[in-house]
Amino acid sequence: MEAQEAEVAMRKQLKTNTELESMIMDRVRKNADWWHVKGAIVTPIQRSAPYLPNWDATFVVDGAALRPSEIHYLVAALQNQYDLTGD
């Protein structure tokens, strides 16, 4: 099982935090209901297993509005495709 998990992690494309932030915000801008999300900040996280994500995203929102709950699915989909570069 460990070899399969490592293989999954190795198949992910590497992106910088700036690239990931741009990808997230491109999708956010296409959703009219997310008008209050003004920015995304991608930061590295400690990976406890090779198949888990090594980054997470936080959001800057306008006013008292909360981060949309559906945005979690966008971040999860990108985490499954991309790893954050170590640079």
Note the pLDDT tens digit of each residue in 29-69. 999 989 999 999 999 999 989 899 999 999 999 887 777 88
Q: Which two tokens stand for residue 17?
A: 């935090």
CA–CA dist 86, 46 (Å, integer): 12
The residue type found at 13 is: Q
> Which amino acid, 74?
L
The kind and range of the H/E element at 61 are: strand 55-61
Contacts of 6 (CB under 8 A, 6+ apart): 50
Give the model's confidence band at 77: pLDDT under 50 very low, under 70 low, under 90 confident, else very high.
very high
Predicted confidence at residue 69, as pLDDT, reads: 83
Q: Which residues contact 68 (CB under 8 A, 6 or more apart)?
A: 31, 33, 34, 37
Q: What is the pLDDT of residue 66?
A: 72
